[in-house]
Amino acid sequence: MTLAATAGHPGFLSPTGVEIAFVLVGLVTFGAALITVTTKQLVHAALWLVVALGGIAVEYLLLTAEFIAWVQVLIYVGSIVVLLLFGLMLTRAPIGRSPDADSGNRGLALGVAVASAAALVWVVVDAFRTTWINLEGPAQGSTKASGEFLFRHWVLPFEALSVLLLAALVGAIVLSRKEGKDGKDPGGGVGAKGSKGGPRGKDRHVMRDRTDRTDREDRTARTARTYRTDRQEQSAASREDMS
């Protein structure tokens, strides 16, 4: 283990250029993260998250982990933020300020966060006061080095990870599919209670489609409960029609 020689090191008072850059980028990253968790505009939160994640990518570069920096840019900034933005749009997040972005236990959350931050900063600074990272020599995270250690020592976890990604893919598709093709309702517990068999299954689909279409405009305005009530009334009405 090659710890940097602590004797010859200047300490805090004369930081190197890398350290100055790290601290500046770190401040930007921390500020962006703070805005992400405190802003009232939901879309702005996602955009500030881009700044925070990009800042972390720059920190990886400063720590000579190039490959991880580019993976960070590609996956986090490139895809995860886009997914989050899609999620915000699909749940119809308001574009302007939404006053109810924070829940009621905000003060408690602030207390917990500040307390844990103080404790952890104290512990970390106390523990690593005399520890320096030696950044000299060939980059430890260059693409060549990353490929070597990844496919020489970590092949089995890598392959297992691909299986996990496949499982996540299938799971996301199953979760976000609307309904089974064969009339199997994913949440059919209620329908089974009052149903007498017969053509009800198909009928439910037609009915639900109609409800969806008519309600599409004002659906966000309603709470889910009134929506469900509405659907029950309609189902009762259509049951009467049938009989």
Considering only residues 26 to 45 of the shown chain, the ones binding another protein according to CB under 8 A are 26, 29-30, 33-34, 36-37, 42, 45
Name the minimum Å distance from CB 13 to another protein.
11
Asked if residues 46 and 95 have their Cβ atoms less than 8 Å apart, the reply is no
Is residue 194 at the binding interface for another protein, with CB under 8 A as the rule? no
**Of the residues 8, 96, 138, 187, which one makes contact with another protein according to CB under 8 A:** 187
| Angle made by CA atoms 117, 120, 124, in degrees to the nearest 5 | 135
Is residue 77 at the binding interface for another protein, with CB under 8 A as the rule? no
**Of the residues 16, 144, 194, 237, which one makes contact with another protein according to CB under 8 A:** 16
Structural tokens at position 157: 């976890």
Give the span between the Cα atoms of 80 and 73, in whole angstroms: 10
Phi, psi values for residue 8, rounded to 5°: -85, 5
Question: Quick one: 131 or 242, whose CB is closer to another protein?
Answer: 131
> How does DSSP classify residue 61?
H
Is residue 70 at the binding interface for another protein, with CB under 8 A as the rule? no
Sign of CA dihedral 97, 103, 107, 111: negative
Name the minimum Å distance from CB 28 to another protein.
11
Question: Quick one: 107 or 198, whose CB is closer to another protein?
Answer: 107
Name the minimum Å distance from CB 198 to another protein.
19
Considering only residues 106 to 135 of the shown chain, the ones binding another protein according to CB under 8 A are 106, 108-110, 112-114, 116-117, 120-121, 124-125, 128-129, 131-135
Structural tokens at position 116: 């844990």
Is residue 143 at the binding interface for another protein, with CB under 8 A as the rule? no
Question: Quick one: 76 or 201, whose CB is closer to another protein?
Answer: 76
Give the span between the Cα atoms of 219 and 222, in whole angstroms: 5
Phi-psi region of 183 (alpha: psi -120 to 50; beta: other; left: phi over 0): left
Is residue 213 at the binding interface for another protein, with CB under 8 A as the rule? no
Q: In this structure, which amino acid lies at residue 90?
A: L
**Of the residues 56, 58, 77, 200, which one makes contact with another protein according to CB under 8 A:** 56
Name the minimum Å distance from CB 182 to another protein.
18
Q: Is 47 helix (H, G, I), strand (E, B) or coil?
A: helix
Is residue 97 at the binding interface for another protein, with CB under 8 A as the rule? no
Give the span between the Cα atoms of 65 and 58, in whole angstroms: 10
